[in-house]
Amino acid sequence: MSDNWYAPASLVIQLSFLIAGVWFARNLLRTMRASQEQLGAMLKLSSMGVSAEPHSSIASANQPLTVESPYWLAPSQTEAAGLAQPTESDPGRFAAVRRKIALWLQAPISSSETAPVRRIINWLQAPAGSRS
């Protein structure tokens, strides 16, 4: 054991990093959840004008993360209805993409100019002091 102390020490250090990472992640998730609940409560109060029951942050910290909060707002139907739906006269996004691809495919493959990448490669390969 005295000759091979490196392996157990490395294991202890790795386990301590793992425990510290899990502890930090749990605290971070608890803080994010409390912040989300506070923001939800403020939004609910400001939009509906309803007085909310007092909600203890200590009680929320002891709850599991999978329990839903009473302050989370469900998505409303007006938000979904407010999105623009493509009309039949509008060609749509996919038709525009198909048109751009067709134009790209119809473009000539070669041009009279040297490609910029090829010019850089030629410049790098040329001997110092010569200009091309």
Instruction: Write out the DSSP string of 59-87.
Output: HHHHS-TTSPPTTPPPPPHHHHHHSPPPP
Mean pLDDT of the chain: 75
Q: Domain ranges in the chain? A: 1-72
- Whether 106 has a pLDDT exceeding 70, the answer reads yes
pLDDT tens sequence across 10-49: 999 999 999 999 999 999 999 999 999 998 888 888 887 5
pLDDT tens sequence across 61-80: 555 555 566 666 565 555 55
List of residues 6+ apart from 126 with CB closer than 8 A? 132
Q: Give the residue carrying structure tokens 């525009």.
A: 96
Q: Which of 3-7, 26-30, 70-74, 81-85 is predicted with the least confidence, judged by mean pLDDT? A: 81-85
